[in-house]
Each structure stands twice: as C-alpha cells, then as structure tokens.
Amino acid sequence: MSFGTHAWRWSARGATALIPLASAGVLLVTVGTQAAATTAQASMVPAAPAANPPVTNPYAPAYHHPYRHGAVPTRGAAAQMAAWARQHPGAAGASRGAAAPSPNNLSYGGGVGGIGVTTGRAKVYLVFFGSQWGRKGRNSQGYVTLSGDHAGEAPYLQRMFKGLGTNGERWSGVMTQYCQGIAAGRQSCPATAPHVRFPHGGVLAGVWVDKRVKSPAQATGHRLGREAVDAAAHFGNTTAASNRNAQYVILSPHGTDPDQYQEQQFCAWHDWNGDATLSGGPVTSSHGHIAFTNMPYVTDVGATCGAHFVRSGGGGKLDGVSIVAGHEYAETLTDQNPPGGWVDSSGEENADKCAWRAPGSTGGAAVLHLSTGPFAMQGTWANDASGGAGGCRFTHSIVSTR
C-alpha cells in the first residue's frame, strides 16, 4: 500500500535537462513531454524531486522503500498501519490529506514519460520466474500447469485474466472513469480525454515459464525489473508502442521471498523499470517503458495475504491470489508509470484505498463471476461515488470513452 510517493520522481515534464546515467551508460535529454536518448528507445526519463511527502507510517511496506507502489500490506500490517494513522492524523502518509475538491479522492499526477494510465487494450503477460516452477504441462482447458505449483496458482491466474471483461462483469468498469491528457491535480475526466479502456474479452496476452536460471531466494526490485524487460523481448514486444498498454506479472515460485515480502509484511507491489528508487537501481530498457508487478507465491503465507478472505473450503485457498493480483492489475491500469497516474494526497492508489475491506461491506471483497469461473476480488476506489465524495465500489458502469 503506497502511503507516500517517491523521494525522486521520473517525469518528462519541466525544463530541458541533461542528466548522465552512469549505471545505464546513457545520457537523456528531456524537453517538455519528449525524451531523446543516445541509446535507442531508452526508457529512463529523469525528472525533478517529487513534491509529495515521503511515507512516515512505519508499518507501511513503502516506508523507506518508495518503489513499492500499490503494495498490498498483509492483513496484520494493515491493522497496524490503521492504528498508527489514527494516532498520527497529521503525519504525511498517515492520512489522506485534504486535496481539493474532495479530501479523499484520487488526483491525476500529470504522467511520467507521457504515460499516466493504460489507454489501449490492456495486455497482461504472466512470467513464471525460475526453474523451481518445475515441469510444464497443460490441463484439460489448455492452461499451463507446473509441477512445482502445489497450490495451482498458475492456471487460476490464467483463467482470471482471460476472464476479465466477460460474462457482463462490471468490476472492470470502476477503472474506466480514469484518464490522462488532463492537467495535474484534476479529479475528474472530460469525455474527450483518453480513458482506461474496458477489457472486452480478457487481458491475458501470454505465458512464459522462464527456466533459464533459478529464481533468487530474495530477488531485488532491480532483478524483478530485469526479468520484466527480458519478458518483453521474449514476447516480441521490443518497441515502446508494443509495451504502451502491457504489464508483466513476475511470479516467484514457492519457497522464495522476493524483496523480502514475508519480513516486510506485504503481498505484492507494482512499478516500472525506470524508477530511480527501485531497489538495486533502475533497469535499462531498449523496448520502451516496462510496467511490472512483483507477485510472490502468496499461498505460502496463507491467510495473512488473503487465503479464505471471501470463501471457505477449497476454493477459498486461492482467494488471496486473485485479490492481490487484481489489486496490482487495477493500479497498473490507473497508474502505469508511478507516481504519474491517479493517487490521493498520501500516495494511495485506487486499490490501496479499498484493501482488505470486509466482504458484505460497501465496496468490499466479493466473488466475481467470469466466463472462466468465480474469483475473489476486492473493490477499488471510484472518485464519482457518493456524489463526487468518492468511495469503494465493486462494480461500476462502463464510462464512455473516445
């Protein structure tokens, strides 16, 4: 849960600047919203320091780790964060502030590298990172199965992403109210602005089981970003245009601890390759900007990351998998190159504001029925709810976009 924003912000806004990037071996020139690089299609776009305050809630996963955008806290960490926030209502990152006109709503961040939200058909690529995933097979429905996937996360997530936008679902409708191409700080979108598009017919675009190496015991953010850039090349997405509406979910295998998610009490986060604060440093890309999610094997930690949060019995074992993956997917749609998309005055994104809301409550977690099966999902924030005051919603009509 991103309760604050970067200490450093990557953007193409502002005055012309020349900034050497020693680690990447490139020199970028930024002018307005354009960037030119001495290496072809280099994706790192430098900018001025962020004006937003850093995270101060010591229980937030993003505390001293600002690259963990939209990090889903464990249920225990979420309770600690809420208790600390009640005791420190004026602290940056402890409350949602007072951004006009609504103190709770998300505001547009102005974009990073010309990107604010996913405006085309969303494409989700699942990357099973590491030889520990085991032998690859196919089930009767044609989904990839893996011998090292004892909980069955792989086919479950393939079905979920393939099913989004089917069966008349309106969970995806909540995100369609957000857009880009408007002034920073605005909280609503004109019909003429490029909006997040409804995912008619699913978003699953590809599956890669990467057995080239063993997944690290504790992969850094940089290593995960490298895997995402490699995945883009694997799928043939080697231009900025081919990655403009893509997101890569980097799934670590059972028994690993990517970015120390167990010790740091989070379940997943998302970012992009050019984030200056990424642990281990930003990742050079010749394929444009690469949006990715760090998705641990959350069934290893059970209820702390959502097992049986909505359903009891066998089906509920995977509740956390779809809740957490859906959380990061929704936030990547609305904040593709963080923090240039939609965040509130404390840096919370649309799914952060509704995380672990109890089933049965307004905008709480529930079962989403898709053509590919039922999946536990959480609600997300709608700025236009409650007469413009905002609120968590599980469903929403599709906003008409150009």
**Rounded to whole angstroms, how far apart are CA atoms 390 and 380?**
11
Give pLDDT tens digits for 317-340: 999 999 999 999 999 999 999 999
Q: Give the model's pLDDT for residue 34.
A: 33
Smallest Cα–Cα separation from 9: which of 352, 274, 345?
274
**Rounded to whole angstroms, how far apart are CA atoms 375 and 385?**
24
Mean pLDDT computed over 230-259: 98
Q: Which residue has the higher pLDDT, 197 or 50?
A: 197
Where helices occur in 54-100 by DSSP H, the ranges are 75-87
pLDDT exceeds 50 at position 278: yes
pLDDT exceeds 80 at position 378: yes
Categorise residue 11: left if φ over 0, alpha if ψ from -120 to 50, beta otherwise.
beta
Q: Where are the domains of the chain?
A: 110-393
pLDDT exceeds 70 at position 160: yes
**Rounded to whole angstroms, how far apart are CA atoms 252 and 294?**
8
pTM equals: 0.86
Mean pLDDT computed over 307-314: 96
pLDDT exceeds 70 at position 96: no
* Tokens found for residue 206: 């590809």
